[in-house]
Structure 1
């Protein structure tokens, strides 16, 4: 499905798409006139993106048929994806390694690369690229060049059997985890991924954030799941909802702007979770028939 076809699909999917808070009434959303972060640990959506990924079905897992999938990420307005904002680009069908670029950038300069390494216990690495030091960085450079300037993040599992992934970065220490049954129900989700900041931080007003502060949630259900995928696909896409107030500052005109790179990190780390999920899905299906 092309980018334009995907947008048209979403537009035609519902003549009057519901507002996010109407579609997902939960304890984790609040209106803007209620108590705000960090005084409250309630989750407030500040932006939404649609991550479009078909993922893998059982037939693909058993036959070994994998497509070279570039993942498109769309901005959302009034509940509907409207314009492609980011693209996660893979250069090889034999590797999950990829780089995130802004879709509007004609030169496809990489923002963040994610490198997957072969072998047991070898965790993925993410590199947040420093363009001030290196200038333009191609997708190929971002994936292949280990000498690039940037922040290197070793992605680790919470335990040897855990699906949760921990990211220790200069932005903070984060953990992506799968939501509980109660959390899925609260978000009307078949599958729910939750990103939390797990360290404490002293804010500009002297107050402290709470450990376990929810930063983002990735929701998959009949409304938000990528068209063409099904509930039990491995690594399929959905709706990424973010609360980035911790990194919001005022510009010279007094308008709220987000600190550069935070949203891109959330997107890239979410896509990493989808790729890890797809690999587990494939391995589990192969193990079931071996």
Structure 2
């Protein structure tokens, strides 16, 4: 299963509060960063895509909160080199109990599935990936349309969409690439305020500051800084904010793997 436990954390010169994390707002549906993680995925460049010399293996996710030491918080573990199917575990868990799994299926039009496991589940990585009868919430990941890169996740935690940011949105965060997670369903908060549909709850920023070391601007499936707004779930009685964070991480990694597959296919097609 790889040697992810022996990997050293990425070397960042300094962990500082981001500009977007320091701006406060009284509006419950405006984005405010409450948690930041670094997703370390090297992805593919063109030569690797054409030669198949680099694979998306285990992916480490680090906590990079200002004023706190950098620590590995999650690991996405892939068991087979010929399959993208993976399971997410907490790096501090010596038993490697899975929090969720993502199952990729062969064939055109067969979308991946996510299985969100109960918070107290005692499920191995192997079970989470291979056991079809396993208890847990099964989520069919759907594309918004045949040509759209937007992915839809209809879950008990809410209905979400990961999409790519527009040019204006990328410029606002000085990002070469910006992935945005929006919550599409509306909910009533404890104070009686309703959240707005399409409220932004997370985003992955990739630029010279946050891009995974060793990757380049035009890499496919490379990691960056995952910024999340978990305020909605802090006082939620039926959902734990930690479970929501784990779902955000797993679904973000799914987007990176989908991006990597498209990158490889497009480059192979270009030289065929």
State TM-score, norm by structure 1: 0.87
For 2:213, what is the secondary structure of its paired residue? coil
Tell whether 2:1 aligns with 1:9: no
Task: Give the drift of 1:202.
Answer: 2.0
Task: Give the drift of 1:131.
Answer: 5.1
Cα contact 1:30–1:42 (8 A) shared by 2: no
Within the candidate set 211, 227, 233, 1:247 is matched to 233
Alpha-carbon distance in structure 2 between the residues aligned to 1:229 and 1:277? 14
Alignment of 1:151-230 (within 5 A): 151-230=137-216
Alpha-carbon distance in structure 2 between the residues aligned to 1:260 and 1:101? 12
Task: Give the drift of 1:65.
Answer: 2.5
For 1:261, what is the secondary structure of its paired residue? helix
Tell whether 2:123 aligns with 1:137: yes
Alignment of 1:241-280 (within 5 A): 241-249=227-235, 259-280=241-262
CA RMSD, Structure 1 to Structure 2 (Å): 2.2
Alpha-carbon distance in structure 2 between the residues aligned to 1:128 and 1:66? 28
Alpha-carbon distance in structure 1 between the residues aligned to 2:236 and 2:163? 31
Alpha-carbon distance in structure 2 between the residues aligned to 1:250 and 1:120? 39
Return 5+ residue gaps in structure 2 as ranges: none
Correspondence for 1:72: 60
Return 5+ residue gaps in structure 1 as ranges: 252-256
Alpha-carbon distance in structure 1 between the residues aligned to 2:57 and 2:7? 16
Within the candidate set 136, 146, 164, 2:132 is matched to 146
For 2:39, what is the secondary structure of its paired residue? strand
For 1:246, what is the secondary structure of its paired residue? helix
Alpha-carbon distance in structure 2 between the residues aligned to 1:81 and 1:270? 23
Task: State the aligned residue count.
Answer: 269
Task: Give the drift of 1:30.
Answer: 5.8
Task: Give the drift of 1:140.
Answer: 0.6
The 4+ residue runs of structure 1 with deviation greater than 4 A are 1-6
Q: Deviations over 1:165-216 (max 9, x none)?
A: 0000001100000000000000110000000001111222222110000000
